[in-house]
Amino acid sequence: MAMLEVQDLHVAFPRGKRDEVEALRGVNLQLEKGERLGVVGESGAGKSMLAFAILNLIAAPGRVSQGRVMFHGQDLLKLSDRKIRGIRGNRISMIFQDPMVTLNPVLTIGTQMIETLKAHRRISDRDARKLCIERLKQVAIPSAESRMDAYPHELSGGLRQRVVIAIALLTDPELIIADEPTTALDVTIQAEIMSLILKLCRENDVALILITHDLGVVAEVTERIMIMYAGLCVEEGPTKQIITAPRHPYTSGLLKALPQNAGRGQRLYQIPGSMPPITALPRGCAYHPRCEFADNGCRTRIPPLQGGVACFNPLKGASS
């Protein structure tokens, strides 16, 4: 049994008095211990929604309308508030794009870390402090002891995100869900943070769900990729295989559209149009209006995810 198994997950938001629209339209996902998965999609594809739904954090008026999130055989969506708090922030940690979502601006770094730790462990203040300093050192924060007494605003963006990672690691989680953890940071800081996350996951055998729009980052960090489009997973598979031989036309289009994949001064490949909002999805495959291979079947039926790709006319992909 996989560590995490998401089955047919649907998230719905009310539209008007009776109607609902689905932001997630049935997503399946499996994650083994220590595995690193990248969830890639454009804004509105539902990738952040997936992270929130896994942690049962969908805010009203949205709701999980269908599906299960099995974590070690336990459905997280059915747990009581008290029980899920014992898992969230403890066995599953989160890193958000904005470190200030996690950090409280009026408390010192040390206070927040010790509080987090004591919420999940019976531990003395002294031991807690020692462990926190150790974690800060682990994420390469210079002069960790004195940073314990610093307030978040006294740190730069890169250091703040390191502190968030240190907090995420405090409770020795089995899974870290990182939602665009480096999007707000500069490229050199992004490289520092991502190599840090990669190293920590490898060393401690922690599983990672990395949510991002950046195929480059995913290619560097993850072992498996899931491509999302309009609330569905359209392609899934080993990172290398998807990057080198994508099978869904959307994945292939995204990769071809990257400047690094085009010759200098040549026009980039461009996918026409833009992703439809969840309130105005076309019939059939949501991608068909932008797809050059779309036929009548694509316009009427939603292709199921089969063999890692949800497409009636998939590209050849690898020679296998």
Partner 1 sequence: MTQPIIETRGLEMRFALPTHFLSREKPVLHALNGVDVAIQPGETFCVVGESGCGKTTLGRAIMGLLTPSAGEILFRGQRIDTMDEKRRKPIRAEMQMVFQNPYASLNPRRNVFDTLAEPIRHLLPDTPAAEVREQVESVLAATGCDPSWQRRLPHEFSGGQRQRIAIARALVTNPAFVVADEPISALDVSIQAQILNLLTDLQADRGLTYLFITHDLSVVEHFGTRVAVMYLGRVMELAQVETIFAQPKHPYTRLLLEAIPKLDGGSFDKPRTPGELPDPVNPPPGCPFAPRCSLADARCHAERPELRGLENGTQVACHHSA
Partner 2 sequence: MISFSAFVKRFFSDPVAIGAGVVLLVLVLMAVLAPLIAPQNPYDPLQLDIMDSEMPPSWKPGGDDRFLLGTDAQGRGVLSTIMYGTGISLLIGVGAVIVQAVLGITLGLIAGYKGGWIDSFLMRLADIQLSLSTLMMAIIALALFQAAFDANTYADYAIIMLIMVIGIAEWPKFARTVRSSVLGEKKKEYVDAARVIGLPARRIMWGHILPNTLTPVLVISTIQVAEAIMIEASLSFLGLGMPTDRPSLGSLIRSGFEFIFSGSWWITLYPALVLIALVLSLNLLGDWLRDVLNPKLRRGED
287 is a contact residue toward partner 2 (CB under 8 A)? no
Residue type present at position 170: L
Relative to beta strand 232-238, strand 74-75 is unpaired
Q: Which is nearer to partner 1, 134 or 186 (CB)?
A: 186
Which tokens belong to 166?
């240190």
Least distance from partner 2 to the Cβ atom of residue 282, Å: 18
Phi, psi of 144, rounded to the nearest 5 degrees = -60, -40
Select from 32, 43, 101, 143 the one that contacts partner 2 (CB under 8 A): 43
Whether residue 105 contacts residue 151, with contact meaning beta carbons closer than 8 Å, is answered with yes
Instruction: Indicate the residue among 54 and 193 with the shorter CB distance to partner 1.
Output: 193
Q: Interface residues with partner 1 (CB under 8 A)?
A: 42-43, 140-142, 156, 158-159, 162, 186-192, 194-196, 198-199, 213-217, 219-221, 239, 243, 253-255, 257-262, 264-265, 267-272, 274-275
Q: What is the DSSP string of 71-96?
A: ETTEEGGGS-HHHHHHHBTTTEEEE-
**By C-beta, is 87 or 194 nearer to partner 1?**
194
In 10 A of CB 309, how many CB atoms? 25
Instruction: Report what 153 binds from partner 1, partner 2, none; CB cut-off 5-8 Å by kind.
Output: none
Cβ proximity of 96 and 149 under 8 Å: no
Toward partner 2, which CB reaches closer, 255 or 278? Answer: 278
- Nearest approach, Cβ of 48 to partner 2 (angstroms)? 6
H/E run at residue 196: helix 187-204
When the beta carbons of 62 and 249 are compared against partner 2, the nearer one is 62
Q: Evaluate whether 252 touches 311 at the Cβ level (below 8 Å).
A: no
Task: Please identify, using beta-carbon distances, which residue of 48 and 222 lies nearer to partner 2.
Answer: 48
Counting contacts by CB under 8 A, is residue 237 touching partner 2? no
Two structure tokens written together for 31: 């994650």
Q: End-to-end distance of the chain based on CA atoms, in angstroms?
A: 27
Distance CA 108, CA 159 (A): 14
143 binds partner 2 (CB under 8 A): no
Residue of 6, 37, 48, 232 that binds partner 2 (CB under 8 A):
48
Q: Which of partner 1, partner 2, none interacts with 46 (beta carbon under 5 to 8 A by kind)?
A: partner 2
Which of 10, 29, 38, 46 is close enough to bind partner 2 by CB under 8 A?
46
Cβ(44)–Cβ(106) under 8 Å? no
Residues that bind partner 2 (CB under 8 A): 13, 23, 43-44, 46, 48-49, 59, 61, 277-278
